[in-house]
Amino acid sequence: MSDEYNVENKSGASWHLPAIIVLGLIAIGGLAFGWNASSKLDSTQQAVTAQVNSFKQGVEQDMSSLKDRIAQDEKANTDLQGDLKVVTDKLKITQGQLKKARAEAAAAVQDTTQKLTALDTSVHTELATKAATDDLKNVDTKVGGVRTDLDSTREDLKMARSEMGTLIARNHDEIDQLRRLGERDYIEFTIAGKNKPQKVGNLTVELKGVNEKRGQFSVAMTAEDRRLEKKNRFMNEPIFFYLSGTKIPEELVINKVGKDTVSGYVSVPKANAQSQSSASSSGK
């Protein structure tokens, strides 16, 4: 009996030790796992805390910026309200001035209209009473003025006269003065280049040569199939020629010479046109 009991005790003691060791290992593993989990929890908590702090700082900065913006907007709103008040006050003054100016302008227009109406009535009345005598006086005055101008023009013609008694124009202005006398027709011309026949009135004129220094020229004239040459003639020296059926000569005057260029006019008496017309009628 005692031997069996000892054997059982020995066998029972043999499995207790391994069990204790296994339980110890399990406890140590549990402690290691717990410590590892605790470490991870601490890291996670620190990371979360850092993120929360960072978010909190960002929110605080945004709130500060928003407060500054609100303060600026409030200041701008205050300034705008002040400016609006100033503009409104000025607008009230301007509107008052505009109304006053409109009233003054309307009064001025009415006054001017009344004065114009009165003046128009007065003028019509005066014209009605003085029309006949005043109009007659004005006509007489105008006729007298024309006569005076004509007489003055005749007196101002201090031009040289040819042997035929015709006045010799030296430039375009003097030709216009002669035209106003109404006794002759004047045809102005310019010939540029030698041996180039040019039609001037009822003449064909051809420049043959020019002595610019001496103011001389040579031309050939053709009228009614008759050719006439004039050599070394001076400026403002008239060349006379007759056409069939006329008693008063026509004349050619050169009053300007240049290098292979001459300018002047052909003077045709108005009586010649009547004579030629009469001759043509007789011939028929």
Domain ranges of the chain: 1-37, 75-112, 172-283
CA pair distance 106, 114, nearest whole angstrom? 12
Class of the domain covering 172-283:
mainly beta
Q: Is 151 exposed, middle or buried (0-12, 13-18, 19+ CB in 10 A)?
A: exposed
Name the residue among 186, 177, 190 with its Cα closest to residue 269.
Answer: 186
Residue 281: the pLDDT is 52
Give the containing element (helix H, strand E) for 78: helix 2-156
Residue 253: the pLDDT is 94
Whether 228 contacts 220, CB under 8 Å: yes
pLDDT in tens, the chain (284 residues): 555 545 455 555 566 777 778 777 887 877 777 777 677 777 777 887 887 777 778 777 878 787 888 888 788 878 878 777 776 676 665 677 767 767 776 776 676 667 667 766 776 676 666 655 555 456 455 545 545 555 555 544 567 777 777 888 899 999 999 999 888 999 999 999 999 999 998 889 999 999 999 999 999 999 888 998 999 999 999 999 888 888 888 999 999 999 999 999 999 988 765 555 555 555 55
Whether 221 contacts 204, CB under 8 Å: yes
Residue 273: the pLDDT is 59
Residue 245: the pLDDT is 82
CA pair distance 252, 201, nearest whole angstrom? 11
Residue 24: the pLDDT is 78
One-letter amino acid for residue 99 of the chain: K
Residue 101: the pLDDT is 63
Model pTM?
Answer: 0.43
